């Protein structure tokens, strides 16, 4: 009885499996890599496309920027209608790769640096090389060419950091230290210039009964930015960047990283951070700091708006205090890169769109939204906090101190790094164990990439 | 089944009945049966939705089974079985026993309230409990009021409490269901039997064993099946309460499947994991159904 | 005889159970009515309650869209499932369906099979059919996944109908469809009603399928999904506003429950025992 039913089941299985083909075999991409851009795109070239719709996918954080850019673009190229889709960061990261692989694919998208998203896009031949566009528009003079590495790949997507340019962003985003000016003065603490002075300031604040650092880590990533700051004080930035871009022989296991990790753990046991930080969200923590709680907040420049609004004149910002080397270093990079789909049938319009974002003439608009333009030209700052952030940016750029994000280094590093760091901070594992876990993930990925 | 019997079946089968079942069965085949086999099929491939898939045989299974995170995810599921299924059933039984003799007034009122957690969207449930467990939420406020400030914590953000905290959400969802079904089953027990029993000097434990359990066996197994599958699936609550954190302390197989299939695009590994999860659930419920049938006979 | 002590304990336990069941809801309603700042606008108060969070949640969350989507999806699922399941349930209960046992075992598999087992393939299927982010991507799988429960539920009910009623109908010359239409369905009204309510609830609350199959079209997202995104979105970090959103989203179900609970629970109890 039962055997018989099993037999029928088995027959169905065989039937269904023979009807299957290998997955993904029909995703032949019709890439139009033939057209080379040698001159800036003209209005006439775009007009020649006729009435078209340009599909653009952007991170929700770009909302205000797009509100300025899109009308400007549509005024200049009246035959193009921009169809903008804004997505939350997690959602964008999840959907952008399959969307570009699918049909119809959007024309212009934002990806994310590193092997997880951009690497997959390059490897799948889903985005177009922008090296020719960069030359045509002379991005090399408007931006620091040393920074192009984070968008550069070998054509098969196996090597990161060098090769062809596949994307670009007009803004820099990096982690620094926000501080509450009034409280700092009340506690009689001088603005720290070095890492040691910073550590001393924390101790003094703690003794005075103040929460030295506001942290909310239920989203798992905020603590990695705090670690980036401490790591920057001990480990040379170039070492961290080599690991992230997958340079052979790189290692996360080092005495300097161990010192940085143990310093962080030490700060936790001394109670320097918000109590119960793993149960507080990043946004709630930001809101708390903006409402006047705590002395320092280690956060990205993208929090400048919220904090400036809350603390007003009392809001200040400094670059990560440097360690013994005297060089500023810490988590940060250019913003999410803009890419052009390799399947777009509106290449001229797509190039014109990206070129308009990257145009240094657009930088003042970016600055007016409290963003930090990555163009080398200097700008008027609209507020004291923005001035602070721009100055800090200059220091970071000068020392080539932006150490990117460790999760760029492999396609699953985000999960490993964030979870292990939480475990380490809670005292569940030792420094050696988290370093080993990160290195194992890196090694496995390098092997699969090369083999 | 003998050939003769099979022939008999064929002759007397009403082939027109196939028209009646056609809409239901075709939908079920296309959107449930076929996808199951497709999942198994995908589990033999290395595929990232971008480049063409590569046949890897059982490699995905080897990878999944050598990943310590999977074992910890399944062990969290075991803890959830305790909180989502066994504790609610124990609570339900205990209360039913207490109420065995009492004629409850306003029974339908209590039923309506006790069933409430079942009908509310799991997302709403997770959001409510996120607040209850929050560092500045009601639980900690209460503790602080009684001078127990020392043990206040962000309950969902603490490695030592997060798993249990998520488990308690499941207990809250399911205890009412168990209570309602057990109480209604217990009403079949005649008062005479109970009274006679009491005169014989039976104590509560005996009453529990020899009267209550046998008469609501059916209800117990239904609740067991419903809550067990809920505990082993358990995506919604974890996703909306902790996303598996802090660390991986509340990670469960379904979260792992979702992340590898749709975030990291390891489609084959995700398919292998979901096949394994389905096997586990089918085995557990299959055993329960079998045990139930035995006890019915 | 029951003594007073026993009775007191019984009611104490029942009331305690009820309070625990209702407390989480009470606490977010409470939270949703607290104003975040002291200088709240007076026009947002009603009978002394602060309603500003509701206004904010409704405006920012666009839950009217989500509720319409959920209503549409749930109604379609209920109607389609009922249509298919009544026919199939009738056949399995009262006709000699070939391979009935094999098919029923398959349905039983489907009943306990976790959605995780099919969701990956459903995503691929819908994406190759270009149905991702459409109502169909949600409705069709949800109907199919509800089918085992609905068919088995109705089969159980139909087979309890006394044979004499059906036989007398066929003597009167009623064919199968007629006897189903005019005799069995009216008899099964309350069983079908309970089933419809349960299917509606399951669909209305389904989260994983919605998350996977309509990931990026905000205009057709269902209520649980849009609430989950709203609560996780970085611009909506004030707990009172999130609480207000949760209450808003739960409200229609709660109101419907208020009217349907008696019959629903009675139906479930009798259905559960029969299964």
Q: Which residues form the domain of B242?
A: 76-251
- Contact across the interface for B123 and C207, Cβ inside 8 Å: yes
Predicted local distance difference test score (pLDDT) of residue A17: 52
Q: Are residues B185 and B110 in the same domain?
A: yes
Q: Are residues A65 and A130 in the same domain?
A: yes
Collapsed DSSP state (helix, strand, coil) of residue C34: coil
Residue whose C-alpha is closest to residue A213's, from A293, A114, A294: A294
Q: Are residues A54 and A147 in the same domain?
A: yes
Strand partners, B202: none
ipTM: 0.90
Domain CATH code at residue C58: 1.10.3720.10
Task: Provide the shortest C-alpha distance from residue B153 to chain C (in Å).
Answer: 18
Residue B35 lies in a domain: yes
Residue A344 phi/psi, 5° resolution? -60, 140
- What's chain B's Rg over C-alpha atoms? 24
**Do B45 and A22 contact (CB within 8 A), yes or no?**
yes
Q: Are residues B244 and B142 in the same domain?
A: yes
Chain C residues with CB under 8 Å of B262 CB are 123, 212, 215
Q: Are residues B246 and B269 in the same domain?
A: no
- Contact across the interface for B32 and C145, Cβ inside 8 Å: yes
Q: Are residues A364 and A426 in the same domain?
A: no
**Do A318 and A236 contact (CB within 8 A), yes or no?**
no
Residue A30 lies in a domain: no
The H or E element that residue C50 is part of is strand C49-50
B252 contacts chain C (CB < 8 A): no
Task: Provide the shortest C-alpha distance from residue A12 to chain B (in Å).
Answer: 9
| C3 HSE (CA, 13 A, CB side) | 2
- Tokens for A323? 């360690």
Q: Which residues form the domain of C253?
A: 53-163+189-274
Q: Are residues A144 and A207 in the same domain?
A: no
Q: Give all chains having 3 or more CB-to-CB distances under 8 Å with chain C.
A: A, B
Residue A54 lies in a domain: yes
Q: Are residues B148 and B51 in the same domain?
A: no
Residue A286: closest CA among chain C residues belongs to which residue?
C237
The rounded distance, in Å, linking the Cα atoms of C247 and C227 is 10
Domain CATH code at residue A348: 3.40.190.10
Residue A365 lies in a domain: yes
Q: Are residues B144 and B46 in the same domain?
A: no
Q: Give all chains having 3 or more CB-to-CB distances under 8 Å with chain B.
A: A, C
A116 contacts chain B (CB < 8 A): yes
**Do A328 and A399 contact (CB within 8 A), yes or no?**
yes
Residue A2 lies in a domain: no
Position C122 pLDDT exceeds 70 = yes
Predicted local distance difference test score (pLDDT) of residue A28: 45
Residue B187 lies in a domain: yes
Chain C residues with CB under 8 Å of B9 CB are 98
C162 contacts chain B (CB < 8 A): no
Q: Are residues A273 and A341 in the same domain?
A: no
Residue A11 lies in a domain: no
pLDDT tens for C10-44 read 889 899 999 999 999 999 999 998 876 544 444 45
Residue A38 lies in a domain: no
CB interface of B with C, residues 121-140, below 8 Å: 121-125, 127-129, 131-132, 134, 138
Chain C residues with CB under 8 Å of A5 CB are 101-102, 105
B24 contacts chain A (CB < 8 A): no
Residue C46 lies in a domain: no
Predicted local distance difference test score (pLDDT) of residue A170: 93
Task: Provide the shortest C-alpha distance from residue B150 to chain C (in Å).
Answer: 23
Average pLDDT over residues C96-112: 90
The H or E element that residue C46 is part of is strand C45-46
Position C238 pLDDT exceeds 80 = no
A423 contacts chain B (CB < 8 A): yes
Total domains in chain A come to 2
Position C164 pLDDT exceeds 90 = no
The rounded distance, in Å, linking the Cα atoms of C86 and A44 is 64
The rounded distance, in Å, linking the Cα atoms of C201 and B121 is 9
Predicted local distance difference test score (pLDDT) of residue A1: 46
How would you write chain B as a 3-class SS string?
A: CCHHHHHHHHHHCCCCHHHHHHHHHHHHHHHHHHHHHHHHHHCCEECCCCCCCEECCCHHHHHHHCCHHHHHHHHHHHHHHHHHHHHHHHHHHHHHHHCCCCCCCCHHHHHHHHHHHHHCCHHHHHHHHHHHHCCCCHHHHHHHHCCCHHHCCCHHHCCCCHHHHHHHHHHHHHHHHHHHHHHHHHCCCCHHHHHHHHHCCCCHHHHHHHHHHHHCHHHHHHHHHHHHHHHHHCCHHHHHHCCCCCCCCCCCHHHHHHHHHHHCCCHHHHHHHHHHHHHHHHHHHHHHHHHHHHHHC
User: What's chain C's length in residues?
Assistant: 275
**Do A421 and A230 contact (CB within 8 A), yes or no?**
no
Q: Which residue has the tokens 């920057």?
A: A232
Tens of pLDDT along chain B (297 residues) come to 566 776 666 667 788 889 999 999 999 999 999 999 999 999 999 998 877 889 999 999 999 999 999 999 999 999 999 999 999 999 999 888 888 877 778 888 898 999 999 999 999 999 999 999 988 889 999 999 998 888 888 899 999 999 999 999 999 999 999 999 998 888 888 777 777 776 666 677 787 888 888 888 888 988 998 999 899 988 999 999 998 989 999 999 999 999 999 888 899 999 999 999 999 999 998 898 888 777 765
- Contact across the interface for A23 and C124, Cβ inside 8 Å: yes
Chain C residues with CB under 8 Å of A282 CB are 234
How would you write chain A as a 3-class SS string?
A: CHHHHHHHHHHHHHHHHHCCCCCCCCCCCCCCCCCCCCCCCCHHHHHCCCCEEEEEEEEHHHHHHHHHHHHHHHHHCCCEEEEEEEECHHHHHHHHHHHHHCCCCCCEEECCCCHHHHHHHHHCCCECCCHHHHHHHCHHHHCCHHHHHHHEECCCCCCECCCEECCECCEEEEEEEEEEHHHHHHCCCCCCCCHHHHHHHHHHHHHCCCCCEECCCCCCCHHHHHHHHHHHHHCCHHHHHHHHCCCCCCCCCCHHHHHHHHHHHHHHHCCCECCCHHHCCHHHHHHHHHCCCCCEEEEEHHHHHHHHHHHHHHEEEECCCCCCCCCCCECEEECCCEEEECCCCCHHHHHHHHHHHHCHHHHHHHHHCCCEECCCCCCCCCCHHHHHHHHHHHHHHHCCCECECHHHCCCCHHHHHHHHHHHHHCCCCCHHHHHHHHHHHHHHHHHHHHC
Q: Which residues form the domain of A352?
A: 43-168+336-373
Q: Are residues A99 and A248 in the same domain?
A: no
C4 contacts chain B (CB < 8 A): no
Q: Are residues A416 and A277 in the same domain?
A: yes
Mean pLDDT estimate for chain C: 86
The minimal CB distance from A101 to the residues B49, B53, B55 is found for B49
- Contact across the interface for B51 and A123, Cβ inside 8 Å: yes
The rounded distance, in Å, linking the Cα atoms of A91 and A98 is 12
The pTM assigned to this predicted structure is 0.87
Q: Are residues A96 and A183 in the same domain?
A: no
Q: Are residues B58 and B192 in the same domain?
A: no
- Contact across the interface for C124 and B114, Cβ inside 8 Å: no
**Do A297 and A289 contact (CB within 8 A), yes or no?**
yes
Q: Are residues B113 and B199 in the same domain?
A: yes
- Contact across the interface for A88 and C237, Cβ inside 8 Å: no
Task: Provide the shortest C-alpha distance from residue B217 to chain A (in Å).
Answer: 26
Task: Provide the shortest C-alpha distance from residue C99 to chain A (in Å).
Answer: 10
Give the burial class of A432: count Cβ atoms within 10 A of its Cβ; 0-12 exposed, 13-18 middle, 19 or more buried: exposed
- Contact across the interface for A87 and C216, Cβ inside 8 Å: yes
Q: Are residues A142 and A243 in the same domain?
A: no
The rounded distance, in Å, linking the Cα atoms of C62 and C72 is 16
Tens of pLDDT along chain A (451 residues) come to 445 555 555 555 555 554 456 676 554 444 555 688 889 999 999 999 999 999 999 988 888 899 999 999 999 999 999 999 888 777 788 788 888 887 778 999 999 999 989 999 998 899 999 999 999 999 998 888 888 999 999 998 888 988 999 999 999 899 999 999 999 999 999 999 999 999 999 999 999 999 999 999 988 899 999 999 999 999 999 999 999 999 999 999 999 999 999 999 999 999 999 988 998 888 889 888 999 999 999 999 988 888 988 899 999 999 999 999 999 999 999 999 999 999 999 999 999 999 999 999 999 888 888 788 888 777 777 788 988 998 898 888 888 889 999 999 998 999 999 999 999 999 999 999 999 999 999 999 998 877 6
Residue C15 lies in a domain: no
- Tokens for B144? 């602080």
Q: Are residues B114 and B222 in the same domain?
A: yes
Q: Are residues B243 and B290 in the same domain?
A: no
Least confident span in A337-351, A426-440, C135-149, C210-224: C210-224
Average pLDDT over residues C228-250: 80
Total domains in chain B come to 2
Q: Is the peptide bond before B246 cis (omega within 30 degrees of 0)?
A: yes
Q: Are residues B209 and B157 in the same domain?
A: yes
The minimal CB distance from B104 to the residues C14, C98, C223 is found for C14
Task: Provide the shortest C-alpha distance from residue C102 to chain A (in Å).
Answer: 6
Residue A380 lies in a domain: no
Q: Are residues A136 and A185 in the same domain?
A: no
Q: Are residues A90 and A180 in the same domain?
A: no
The minimal CB distance from C114 to the residues B129, B134, B277 is found for B277
Q: Are residues A279 and A221 in the same domain?
A: yes
Chain C residues with CB under 8 Å of B42 CB are 120-121, 124
pLDDT tens for B74-125 read 999 999 999 999 999 999 998 888 888 777 788 888 989 999 999 999 999 9
The rounded distance, in Å, linking the Cα atoms of A179 and A337 is 29
């Amino acid at each position: 009885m039962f055997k018989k039913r099993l037999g029928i089941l088995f027959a169905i299985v065989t039937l269904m499996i023979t009807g299957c083909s290998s997955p993904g075999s029909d995703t032949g991409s019709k890439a139009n890599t033939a057209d080379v851009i040698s001159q800036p795109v003209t209005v006439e070239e775009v007009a020649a496309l006729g009435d078209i719709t340009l599909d653009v996918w952007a991170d929700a954080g770009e909302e205000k920027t797009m509100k300025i850019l899109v009308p400007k673009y549509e005024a200049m190229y009246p035959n193009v209608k921009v169809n903008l889709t804004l997505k939350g960061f997690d959602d964008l990261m999840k959907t952008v790769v399959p969307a570009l692989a699918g049909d119809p694919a959007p024309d212009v998208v934002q990806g994310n640096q590193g092997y997880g998203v951009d690497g997959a896009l390059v490897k799948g031949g889903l985005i177009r090389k922008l090296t020719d566009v960069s030359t045509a528009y002379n991005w090399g003079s408007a931006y620091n060419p040393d920074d192009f590495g984070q968008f550069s790949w070998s054509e098969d997507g196996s090597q990161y950091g060098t090769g062809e340019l596949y994307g670009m962003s007009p803004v820099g985003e990096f982690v620094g230290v926000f501080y509450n000016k009034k409280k700092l003065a009340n506690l009689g603490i001088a603005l720290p210039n070095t890492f040691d002075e910073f550590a001393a300031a924390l101790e003094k604040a703690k003794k005075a009964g103040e929460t030295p650092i506001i942290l909310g880590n239920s989203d798992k990533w905020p603590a990695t930015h705090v670690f980036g700051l401490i790591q920057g004080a001990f480990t040379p930035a170039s070492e961290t960047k080599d690991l992230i871009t997958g340079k052979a022989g790189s290692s996360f296991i080092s005495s300097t990283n161990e010192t940085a990790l143990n310093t962080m753990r030490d700060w936790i046991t001394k109670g320097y951070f918000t109590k119960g930080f793993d149960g507080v969200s990043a946004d709630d923590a930001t809101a708390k700091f903006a409402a006047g709680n705590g002395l320092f907040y280690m956060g990205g420049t993208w929090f400048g708006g919220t904090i400036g609004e809350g603390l007003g004149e009392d809001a200040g910002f400094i670059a990560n205090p440097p360690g013994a080397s005297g060089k500023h270093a810490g988590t940060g990079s250019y913003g999410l890169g803009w890419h052009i789909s390799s399947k777009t049938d509106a290449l001229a319009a797509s190039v014109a769109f990206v070129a308009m974002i990257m145009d240094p003439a657009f930088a003042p608009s970016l600055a007016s939204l409290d963003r930090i333009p990555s163009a080398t030209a200097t700008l008027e700052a609209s507020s004291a906090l923005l001035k602070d952030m721009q100055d800090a940016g200059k220091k970071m750029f000068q020392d080539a101190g932006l150490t990117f994000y460790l999760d760029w280094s492999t396609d699953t590093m985000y999960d490993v790094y964030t979870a292990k760091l939480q475990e380490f901070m809670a005292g569940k594992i030792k420094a050696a164990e988290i370093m080993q876990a990160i290195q194992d993930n890196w090694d496995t990925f390098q092997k699969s990439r090369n083999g | 089944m003998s050939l003769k019997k099979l022939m008999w079946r064929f002759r007397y089968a009403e082939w027109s009945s196939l028209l009646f079942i056609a809409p239901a069965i075709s939908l079920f085949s296309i959107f449930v049966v076929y996808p199951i086999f497709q999942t198994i099929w995908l589990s033999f491939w290395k595929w990232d939705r971008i480049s063409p898939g590569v046949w890897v045989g059982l490699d995905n299974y080897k990878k999944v089974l050598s990943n310590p995170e999977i074992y910890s995810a399944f062990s969290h599921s075991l803890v959830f079985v305790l909180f989502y299924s066994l504790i609610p059933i124990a609570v339900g039984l205990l209360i039913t026993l207490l109420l065995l003799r009492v004629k409850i007034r306003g029974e339908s009122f209590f039923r309506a309230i006790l069933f409430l957690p079942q009908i509310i969207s799991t997302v709403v449930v997770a959001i409510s409990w996120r607040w209850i467990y929050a560092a500045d939420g009601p639980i900690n406020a209460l503790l602080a009021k009684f001078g127990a400030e020392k043990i206040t914590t962000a309950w969902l953000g603490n490695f030592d409490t997060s798993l249990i905290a998520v488990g308690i959400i499941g207990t809250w969802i399911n205890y009412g269901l168990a209570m309602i079904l057990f109480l209604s089953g217990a009403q079949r027990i005649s008062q005479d039997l109970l009274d006679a029993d009491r005169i014989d000097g039976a104590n509560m434990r005996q009453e529990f064993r020899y009267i209550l359990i046998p008469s609501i066996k059916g209800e117990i197994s239904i609740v067991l099946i419903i809550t067990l599958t809920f505990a082993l699936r358990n995506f919604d609550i974890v996703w909306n309460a902790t996303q598996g954190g802090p660390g991986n302390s509340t990670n469960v197989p379904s979260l792992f499947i979702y992340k590898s299939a749709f975030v990291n695009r390891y489609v084959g590994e995700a398919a292998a994991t979901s096949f394994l999860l389905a096997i586990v659930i089918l085995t557990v419920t299959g055993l329960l159904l079998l045990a139930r049938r035995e006890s019915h006979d | 005889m029951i003594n007073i002590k026993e009775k007191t304990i019984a009611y104490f336990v029942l009331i305690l159970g009820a309070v625990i069941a209702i407390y989480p809801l009470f606490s977010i309603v409470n939270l949703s009515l607290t104003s975040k700042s002291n200088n709240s606008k007076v026009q947002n108060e009603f009978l002394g309650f602060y309603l500003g969070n509701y206004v904010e949640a409704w405006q920012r969350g666009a839950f009217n869209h989500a509720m319409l989507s959920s209503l549409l999806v749930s109604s379609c699922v209920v109607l389609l499932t009922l249509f298919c399941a009544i026919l199939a349930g009738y056949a399995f209960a009262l006709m000699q369906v070939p391979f009935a046992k094999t098919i029923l075992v398959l349905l039983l598999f489907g009943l306990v099979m976790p959605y995780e087992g099919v969701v990956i393939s459903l995503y691929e299927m819908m994406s190759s059919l270009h149905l991702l982010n459409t109502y169909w991507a949600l409705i069709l799988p949800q109907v199919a996944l509800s089918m085992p429960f609905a068919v088995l539920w109705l089969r159980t009910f139909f087979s309890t109908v006394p044979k004499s009623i059906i036989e007398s109908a066929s003597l009167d010359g009623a064919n199968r469809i007629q006897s189903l239409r005019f005799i069995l369905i009216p008899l099964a009204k309350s069983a079908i009603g309970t089933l419809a309510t349960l299917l509606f609830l399951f669909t209305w609350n389904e989260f994983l399928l919605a998350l996977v199959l309509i990931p990026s079209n905000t205009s057709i997202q269902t209520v649980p999904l849009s609430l989950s995104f709203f609560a996780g979105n970085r611009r909506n970090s004030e707990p009172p506003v999130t609480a207000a959103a949760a209450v808003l989203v739960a409200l229609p179900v709660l109101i419907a429950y208020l009217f349907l609970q008696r019959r629903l629970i009675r139906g479930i109890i009798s259905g559960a025992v029969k299964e």
